[in-house]
Structure 1
Amino acid sequence: MLLSLGLLLLMGLVLAALFKKIQLPTLIGFIITGIVLGPHVLNQMDSNLLLISSDLRTLALVIILIRAGLSLDIHKIIKQGRIAILLTFLPATFEIVGSVLFAHFMLGWTWLDGFILGTILAAVSPAVIVPRMLHLIERKYGSKHGIPDMVMAGASADDIYVILLFTIGISIYQTGTFQVVDVVFLPLKVILGVVYGLLLGKLLVIFFKKVHIRDTIKVLIIIGLSLVLISLENALYYSGLLSIVSLALMIYQDYPILSSRLLKKYEKIWLFAEMLLFVLVGAALDISVIPTIGFIGLGLIVSVLIIRLLGVWVCTIQSNTTKKEKLFMVISYIPKATVQASIGAIPLALGMAKGTEILAIAVMAILITAPIGALLIDQTQYRLLAIENT
């Protein structure tokens, strides 16, 4: 495993630097590293590392959600009301419906296969979006209407929403039956996730104010609690990911000075977590399947993305945001990466008939939308968003 980690680090850093130099997301370099070192090309990835890849991908998702929660200004989001709420689920719902219809009528897949594919594709990428929105928040671009805060919150909640639907789809596949209770009690799962997270975050704030320990230890405590929340979510029926965001959000609201310090720590941790996340998803991809997906897969990705962006625009109707701000929000919902990398390989691991194709389409979506979305955000952010003068 040591050799695998060494090769992973060295090759990943080199390719990431090359892509950064040409102004493309570094995650593309990490995915290529995984493909090259993985079992389908050079086969230089230790099998033990691949066995725990699912847990490592979940850990990376936890870290990016903590980062998002530690910098969300909930007051700005509340001011926008309807639009902020709609952004958390409507664009993803549009895309899931589009994926189901396309997969069934154009690819001949079952409704369930299309639904599971849709829940994987529908998530916007915090890995691409969060760092860019944090950059804008620091420089007060779009802060009048809280545009970066809304996009970041919407991206995080959007991911949690589709993951909840994904788990329902996987449950149907494994049991062969549709449990109405899973849908009926979905709001309860969301509410409990928020309540548990806020309460735990409040307790942490009280503890951190009374007990003086190093910030590094605080970072580890939060990660440890987050992993416990993820592990217990099925037993206690709540959303672990939503609890994690809520926990971090409470720290930001009640202890902003600490939140700012912790955020810098998590930015450093994310450098390695991001590499592991995308290298491992690249390693799971069988590139021989991509030619069989071909233009049909590309057509699916583009078609459902257009439907998603229409959903974003619908969310902004009759809001107090400007046309430029609306366009920026639409652009910000283009990139996909984090969730696709985190759960894209699960159908294949479970032995689903379309598991290989689902993973291939998920990786194609990352390779197409992540660089395009990142470039568009970077090139338009200062043109479309106004800076707030203080």
Structure 2
Amino acid sequence: MAGSGNEQSNGSTPRCIPCLAEYNEPDEDAGCFERLKYAFMCPPHGKVAMWISKILAAVAIWGTFWAILGDEALPGGNFFSILVLIYACVIAAALVELTPFPSLLGMLLVGFCLRNIPKIDVGRDIDKSWASTLRTIALVVILIRAGSGLDPNALKKVKWMALRLAFFPCVVEAAVDAVIAHFLLDFPWMWAFVMGFVFSAVSPAVVVPSMIGVQERGLGVDEGIPTLLIAACSVNDVIAISGFGIVLGMSFSNANLIYNIFHGPLELVIGVAFGVFSGVLFWFIPNKNSKNLLMYRFIMVTAFGLLATFGFRVAKFPGAGALGTLIMAFVAGIGWRHRGWTSTDYPIKGVLAKCWKVFQPLLFGLIGNAVSIENLQSGDIGIGVGMLFIGLAARLAVTFLSSFGMDFNLKEKLFITISWLPKATVQAAIGPVALDTARQENASEDVIAIATSILTFAVLSILITAPLGAAGIGLTAPILLKKSTRVDVDEDVEALESKESEKQDHHLNGVNNPAFQNSQSDVSVSEVITTKF
């Protein structure tokens, strides 16, 4: 028999055959039990091999920390708690991905449980300064992704439509929430607007993947709706983060009224100046013909983003750091697209996406871990939830009105309105910043209590709106949007998925191949649908 020959040549005995995957591949019509049995055969393969690799890596990382830090890596130590949080969030995200809800919900819930459930509350052992620093680093990754994700060509196409959808709903919701917070929660006006801008951002973590899914199904692409919403989502976050940073800086200013009035515009000017200067600098440094160009550009933009975010916070201009990082990534991207990279061949997106996979469980886990159940028992929680829904109602109404004047029918306008519902990434990123800043500034107990309430409300807004928004987009897209007149969208997507994967692997290896950089044939899954329509 052929199988016997293979056994003898490989030195295996007949007893091993029932355990070897190569001899026991299931048929196409095999049942669940046969496929499950095959998944655990040797050598490890498929998802089982992936999880074994992750578990071994996790054990090795923990062992390294224990060898270096000793008790800090044992139960009750800071590093042990951080590692448990990360691993638990990764597992929770994998489980939630099997449902229609976004994976960030699992991470938030795990972080909350690891702080508040007795006997497993290892999250209480995480050092607050470490948590603050790690959240800030994750914020830098988000800002760089948001800035580099703004495609100038796409923005030119949607122009004022994207700006209208980004600006008016954001500002109106921030104002409505601020008025409610001031009169019902007794927040000072500055802190009321801090919370308003935290609430006013739409979530790219929910909207962008959902819109890519809508594109891949060929829904609304003839009208350019997914492209419009992806662009408007990024601009909306820029407005919300900028407003948040400026108002937060004014909240901690102890100078006179005139200085406070000019502090916000000054912070805006400083952030824009830093972003433009450093972004233009990266057009020429490193040189476009350098070896490992992608690696050097990634290191430079990340290093400057960290410097801006942490440095301007020390200089009492925290908003300038976030705004400067956003603008830096955007301006740098403009030059990189003109100097070799293109909108369809923009490899740093793949690197940032992989970085986000590392920092996403850390960020959302730490956010959930920052909320204590004692705060949720506060009498202000009901007012906060009511404020969230009132602000959402105002936001959705303004979004619907802002869609008038565009060439969309009533159903498409309703879909655009529903798409502006979810909140997640920005709330997770900037929600804790007010509390971290208050602690660093040695603020009064009243100010720290207000900042804690803002963080608690931000987490509640994620838990409420993220699943509603994700489910709303997925369920209403087939009903409210027209199917593309093209019939080969799915074939285009399937044919290009493998090319996209190979292209990102090529770039991640740091190879600077001019012929590859100038190639116009390989495009991403999302770009092929956008550009062809």
TM-score relative to the length of structure 1: 0.86
Structure 1 residues 253, 214: closer, same or farther in 2, change over 3 A?
closer
Let me know the Cα RMSD of the aligned residues: 3.1
Contact 2:172 2:394 in 1 (8 A): yes
Cα 1:132–1:263 shift into 2, 3 Å: farther
Partner of 1:379: 475
Matched residue, 2:367: 281
Question: Partner letter of residue 7 of structure 1?
Answer: V
Which of 404, 408, 414 is the aligned partner of 1:327? 414
Give 1:137 shift. Answer: 5.6
Map of 1:341 onto structure 2: 428
Check the 8 A contact 2:203/2:424 in 1, yes or no.
yes
Q: Which residue identity does 2:110 align to in structure 1?
A: T
- Structure 2 residue aligned with 1:306: 393
Aligned counterparts, 1:345-356, within 5 A: 345-349=432-436, 350=438, 351=445, 352=447, 353-356=449-452
> Displacement of 1:216 after TM fit?
4.7
- 1:219-234 equivalences in 2 (<5 Å): 219-231=298-310
Mean CA deviation greater in 141-150 or 56-65: 141-150
Distance 1:6 1:347, change over 3 A: closer
| 2:394 is equivalent to residue 316 of structure 1 | no
Which deviates more from structure 2 when the two are superposed, residues 301-310 or residues 63-72? 63-72
Partner secondary structure for residue 426 of structure 2: helix
Deviation string for 1:109-135 (max 9, x for gaps)? 332332221121111122222333445
Indicate yes or no: 2:257 matched with 1:171. Answer: no
The structure 2 residue matched to 1:212, chosen from 280, 285, 291, is 291
| Residue 209 of structure 2 corresponds to residue 131 of structure 1 | yes
TM-score by length of 2: 0.65
Aligned-partner SS, 1:306: helix
1:267 aligned onto 2:350: no
In structure 2, relative to structure 1, the CA distance for the partners of 1:65 and 1:23 (3 Å cut) is: same
Q: Secondary structure at the match of 2:122?
A: coil
Structure 2: runs of 5 or more not aligned: 1-77, 439-444, 487-531
Change (3 A) 1:43 1:137: same
Distance 1:81 1:160 in 2: 15
Conserved? CA contact 2:141–2:356, under 8 Å = yes
Tell me whether 1:181 sits opposite 2:262 in the alignment: yes
Residues 272 and 327 in structure 2, CA contact (< 8 A), matched pair in contact too? no
Report the residue type matching 2:290 in the other structure.
Answer: V
Q: Does 1 or 2 have the higher relative contact order (CA < 8 Å, sep 6+)?
A: 1
Q: Answer yes or no: is the 8 Å Cα contact 1:65–1:244 preserved in 2.
A: no
Query: Which structure has the larger Rg?
Result: 2
Question: SS of the counterpart of 1:81?
Answer: helix
Q: Which amino acid in the other structure matches residue 27 of structure 1?
A: L
CA distance in 2, matches of 1:126, 1:27: 12
Cα distance in 1 for residues equivalent to 2:141 and 2:157: 27
In structure 1, distance between residues paired with 2:269 and 2:387: 33
Residue 73 to residue 343, structure 1, CA distance change in 2 (3 Å): closer
What number of residue pairs does the alignment pair up? 388
In the alignment, is the contact (CA less than 8 A) between 2:147 and 2:327 conserved in 1? Answer: no
**2:283 equivalent to 1:202:** yes
SS in 2 for 1:124: coil
Deviation at 1:305, TM superposition (A): 0.9
Equivalent residue number for residue 240 of structure 1: 324
C-alpha distance in 1, partners of 2:216/2:281? 27
Deviation at residue 142 of structure 1 after TM alignment = 4.1
Q: Which letter maps to 1:372?
A: L
Question: Per-residue deviation at 1:148?
Answer: 2.9
